[in-house]
Amino acid sequence: MTDLAGGDAELIAASLEEPECFAALFDRHAPAIHQYVTRRLGRDAADDVTAETFLTAFRIRARFDAARAGVRPWLYGIAAKEIGRHRRQEVKALKLLARTGHDPVADSWTDSADDRLAAEAAARPLAGALARLSAGDRHVLLLFAWADLSYQEIAEALGIPVGTVRSRLNRARRKLRTATGAAGNPLVEARIHEGDPA
């Protein structure tokens, strides 16, 4: 996905002279960043981390290089760093999900009771396996599956080569399959591949 019409990069440049222009960037991207952070850390931390992400983006906007990265991966990269600071909370939430099978974020996205039960059955082993991944592997996997970033956008967001994105994503998937027995569980396998390009 490219920057939206109206030019996100141009908004950043304009905000250097007129800081209020940055509000349009926030309006465009904050909901997606908030949803991603909510899935990673839960609702309690999402408001703060989203605010910290945009505050950091505002503070460093003069360093934004449109030639190097799009605005969307730049923002997700900042969010990933903020999430890293809250990593303990994320691992704790994943372990809780692994124990209880209850994902309060997914509840709002699951329509029927049958779908919710199936999602919870798949979520428990998946959450435990996610908690055991290295931070780097987890960032790549969740930026791909939950934020729907391309390999190139993930590379730009995390400041790593595309080849590293590919290897971390493959390693994370392999570890999740092994840990969850996904090869025999289509529900878990579907969640591991959630966000795969068609």
> 51 CB contacts (<8 Å, ≥6 apart)?
none
Domain extents in the chain: 8-192
Amino acid at 158: L
Q: 54 and 102 in contact (C-beta within 8 Å)?
A: no
For 31-62, how does the pLDDT look when each residue is reduced to its tens digit (9 = 90+)?
A: 999 999 998 888 888 999 999 999 999 999 99
Q: 94 and 131 in contact (C-beta within 8 Å)?
A: yes
């790549």: which residue's tokens?
140
Structure tokens at 125: 């082993």
Q: What pLDDT shows up at residue 102? A: 61
Structure tokens at 75: 């923002």
Q: What pLDDT shows up at residue 177? A: 85
């990265």: which residue's tokens?
69
DSSP character at residue 184: G
Residue 129 binned pLDDT confidence (cut-offs 50, 70, 90): confident
Q: State the Cα angle at 40 between 36 and 46, rounded to 5°.
A: 70
> 153 CB contacts (<8 Å, ≥6 apart)?
1, 70, 72, 73, 76, 143
- The DSSP line for 153-195 is HHHHHHT--HHHHHHHHHHHHHHHHHHHTGGG-HHHHHHHTTT
